[in-house]
Structure 1
């Protein structure tokens, strides 16, 4: 077997931490990944991985091999990207990771026009509110909402991420509108599971922050599901304006405590640092900026 051809498979296994995630990122079966790694070990005459039921770890030989294999793999990707730039028209498979609600509401509607403009590109998009490892999962780029952990990823700002406190007119008619932050403790506060401050909400006013511990009978990991409950009068919640904007404009939701703001965040496009940015990635980022980038995003305009 040609050991060089197994490098992408071995690197994917190490970077993703297992055969199953490597198989997903490579688009092949788990058994095919395992077979290629076994063949590579036989070809080299050494064991590269310690395998247990819970995790994989590199052997001493595996550590040395991975150090050089990763460099070779990155060099091969740079070579492909350099050639692709000479081909002019962007092409190839573009794998995108985006949050569920933002992806469905504001990225998915752009896909048809993007693919019409760039017919040689095909897209594989995964919408997931959990933050996936861009490199390990094999994504070309991701849309990230909110704070970004320190990393080697390259960031391109797309739009501000503004959130509002709101409720339906039906809920407010029954329970009244809070006029002070402290009064939120008396209301049914619906919560987004993936928030960093699920039970303690923080607001800003005149440069000062104020937090309040809240409670409620519904917690969910999707902003649109949270909005649905609010529209049905279940309680008060925090929603990004990219979800709540149309309902606020139509009067189905009412903003509350407008003098208090939630901490400012940003929606970014992120991608791995590459010597030669693939034309397909650059094309999509420029396209997204064309439609989404603005100090006041279109979903907040009257």
Structure 2
């Protein structure tokens, strides 16, 4: 039985990650010719092209796209196995790529990372904050924090805590347009939509039919923080997590409405790639975040 060409698969994963033969060669400490030969060797073995090549760029072929994730796992697990052996005899060191939601990442995660880095001077954090959903394996992240109701997936997930959400409006908006007494009445109001959440707003209460209202109004944004100016100016009603609007509710700048219809709680989850092998530095960060973010308020 012929063994798989693990070196070629690892080089393929690096070319995909860096989108360049030259950049992959520099990262791996190889010549560009060695990288090119490894890809050619892998393509010949598979009997299909993995990249479209031009003088300016490369792009995965349709055949190469589904193989990229498998290659990324091979490379990540090989690195993790080697690092686990080394880490057993030394303090955690190296770089961790961490993804987090935009507002939560800036307001909550970044401050606790300062504490983590002080405890582990040999570790470096590459923090990416975005409300777009990242592909952890394909984009090479070690850890991702996600606020959502998670669908089933191959990723390893740990729920850290619940995140309360509120339906809110400025007093000026409610004075001008009235206060909805039932979720169904929201359909007649100006709603500010969070475009990264697909689907309507759902409301559930024991003994009552579930209600679903599609957000339709003057503004939608892929960042909850970006909705705040319009919300505070009385432009419409928004549904936002407590870490964005909690302080504004307490100050009276906005009012929580429909409080007798509990909003479905979403969870703060810590996600990692499916491999059980993780470097000591990643294990250290997971343990730290699990402790510090159990109650992020």
Do both share a fold (TM > 0.5)? yes
The CA distance in 1 between the partners of 2:79 and 2:198, in whole Å, is 36
Query: Helix, strand or coil: the match of 2:290?
Result: helix
In the alignment, is the contact (CA less than 8 A) between 1:192 and 1:220 conserved in 2? Answer: yes
In the alignment, is the contact (CA less than 8 A) between 1:49 and 1:57 conserved in 2? Answer: no
In the alignment, is the contact (CA less than 8 A) between 1:81 and 1:276 conserved in 2? Answer: no
Q: Which residue of 2 aligns with 1:256?
A: 257
Q: Note the alpha carbon deviations across 1:267-300, whole angstroms, 9 max, x for none.
A: 100101334321111111211122211xxx352x
Q: Note the alpha carbon deviations across 1:189-210, whole angstroms, 9 max, x for none.
A: 110101122xx32111116521
Q: Which residue of 1 aligns with 2:281?
A: 280
Q: Which residue of 2 aligns with 1:16?
A: none
Given candidates 10, 31, 37, the residue that maps to 1:39 is 37
Given candidates 23, 26, 38, the residue that maps to 1:29 is 23
The CA distance in 2 between the partners of 1:44 and 1:196, in whole Å, is 39
- Structure 1, unmatched stretches of 5+, are 14-18
Q: Which residue of 1 aligns with 2:270?
A: 269
The CA distance in 2 between the partners of 1:261 and 1:56, in whole Å, is 47
In the alignment, is the contact (CA less than 8 A) between 1:98 and 1:126 conserved in 2? Answer: yes
In the alignment, is the contact (CA less than 8 A) between 1:84 and 1:279 conserved in 2? Answer: no
- Structure 2, unmatched stretches of 5+, are 54-58
In the alignment, is the contact (CA less than 8 A) between 1:134 and 1:271 conserved in 2? Answer: yes
Is 1:129 the counterpart of 2:134 in the alignment?
no
Q: Which residue of 1 aligns with 2:202?
A: 202
Q: Which residue of 2 aligns with 1:291?
A: 292
Q: Which residue of 2 aligns with 1:56?
A: 61
Q: Note the alpha carbon deviations across 1:59-81, whole angstroms, 9 max, x for none.
A: 8xx98xx98x7786455324323
The CA distance in 1 between the partners of 2:35 and 2:151, in whole Å, is 32
Q: How many residues in Structure 1 have an aligned counterpart in Structure 2? A: 279
Seen in structure 2, the aligned counterparts of structure 1 residues 113 and 11 have a Cα distance that, compared at 3 Å, is same
Seen in structure 2, the aligned counterparts of structure 1 residues 52 and 78 have a Cα distance that, compared at 3 Å, is closer
The CA distance in 2 between the partners of 1:132 and 1:172, in whole Å, is 37
In the alignment, is the contact (CA less than 8 A) between 2:96 and 2:282 conserved in 1? Answer: yes
Give the alignment's Cα RMSD to 1 decimal.
3.2
The CA distance in 2 between the partners of 1:77 and 1:31, in whole Å, is 17
Seen in structure 2, the aligned counterparts of structure 1 residues 102 and 70 have a Cα distance that, compared at 3 Å, is closer
Seen in structure 2, the aligned counterparts of structure 1 residues 36 and 135 have a Cα distance that, compared at 3 Å, is farther
The CA distance in 1 between the partners of 2:196 and 2:73, in whole Å, is 35
Q: 1:121 deviation in Å?
A: 0.3
Seen in structure 2, the aligned counterparts of structure 1 residues 37 and 88 have a Cα distance that, compared at 3 Å, is closer
Query: Helix, strand or coil: the match of 1:122?
Result: strand
Q: 1:90 deviation in Å?
A: 1.6
Q: Which residue of 2 aligns with 1:240?
A: 241
Seen in structure 2, the aligned counterparts of structure 1 residues 44 and 256 have a Cα distance that, compared at 3 Å, is closer
Q: 1:12 deviation in Å?
A: 4.2
Q: 1:57 deviation in Å?
A: 4.1
Q: Which residue of 1 aligns with 2:56?
A: none
Q: Note the alpha carbon deviations across 1:130-186, whole angstroms, 9 max, x for none.
A: 211111111101001112232221111112022110011222222221112232122
Q: Note the alpha carbon deviations across 1:10-67, whole angstroms, 9 max, x for none.
A: 1345xxxxx4xx107x9x73796986542314567937624348741448xx98xx98
Q: Which residue of 2 aligns with 1:155?
A: 157
Q: Note the alpha carbon deviations across 1:104-125, whole angstroms, 9 max, x for none.
A: 1211111211100110000111
Given candidates 144, 169, 183, the residue that maps to 2:185 is 183
Q: 1:96 deviation in Å?
A: 0.5
In the alignment, is the contact (CA less than 8 A) between 1:162 and 1:240 conserved in 2? Answer: yes
The CA distance in 2 between the partners of 1:177 and 1:140, in whole Å, is 45
Seen in structure 2, the aligned counterparts of structure 1 residues 237 and 74 have a Cα distance that, compared at 3 Å, is closer
